[in-house]
Amino acid sequence: MAIKGNLTKARLTESMLQLIQTSGYSGTGLNAVIEHAGAPKGSVYFHFPDGKEGLGVAAVELAAKQFEALIAEAAVSAGSAAEAARTAIEVLAAIVSESNFRLGCPVSVVTLEMGAESERLRKACAAAFESWIAPTSALLEAGGLDAGEARSLATVVVSTIEGAVIVSRAMQSTQPLFSAADVVAALINQRCNTVGGTR
């Protein structure tokens, strides 16, 4: 029974995440989530006693894990921090394009819609962004930057990617993402090479 319950909870969370991406947080009702997940009607409040807000937090946390895994995979396959950033952005560009520009970053959606309305959701979004900035910062440190500069540049990289996803969806073009990939990779190479050249 516990396994079945966990599967239902996971389905509800995944459905909430997908619907936030296409319809926004405010535009996603619990009935739509239940229908999308093919879950029993009482299952939302059983697994998420605090309702939509709790489900929204779970969806943001799932999105954080998915992108964190993408960063980790890119880091393993790439030969440098710049290549890892480019690879991650190219994967995102493919996801956005293949969805016909309907899918974006659910964390930015929830931040923009609910950041001023729900402190719990705002904190979940902040934690999600931190979970992407921290490993990016670690990659940059491995590339030769000191902790402070790596953290600052990682924040810029994640912020640039977030903005590029939004602009790509608005323009229905992956060009903003590929332009971001070029600029981010050049910036990382410049900073890491500068530091390497001074040692």
Whether the per-residue pLDDT at 12 is higher than 90: the answer is yes
- Split at pLDDT 50, 70, 90, the class of 3 is low
Domain range spanning residue 188?
2-197
Please report, for residues 38, 140, 168, the alpha-carbon distance to residue 61 in angstroms, rounded to integers and kept in the order given: 21, 24, 24
User: How many separate domains does the chain show?
Assistant: 1
* CATH number of domain containing 102: 1.10.357.10
143 secondary structure, DSSP code: T
- Residue pLDDT, tens place only, 107-132: 999 999 999 999 999 999 999 999 99
Task: Let me know the angle formed at the C-alpha of 173 by 172 and 177, rounded to the nearest 5 degrees.
Answer: 125
The pair of structure tokens assigned to 195 is 């530091």
Coil vs helix vs strand at 107: helix
Q: Residue 198: its pLDDT value, please?
A: 44
In single-letter form, the type of residue at position 27 comes to G
> Rounded distance, CA 172 to CA 176, Å?
10
Whether the per-residue pLDDT at 1 is higher than 90: the answer is no
Whether the per-residue pLDDT at 16 is higher than 80: the answer is yes
Pick left, alpha or beta for residue 101 (phi over 0 → left; psi -120 to 50 → alpha; otherwise beta): left
Can you give the pTM of this predicted structure? 0.91
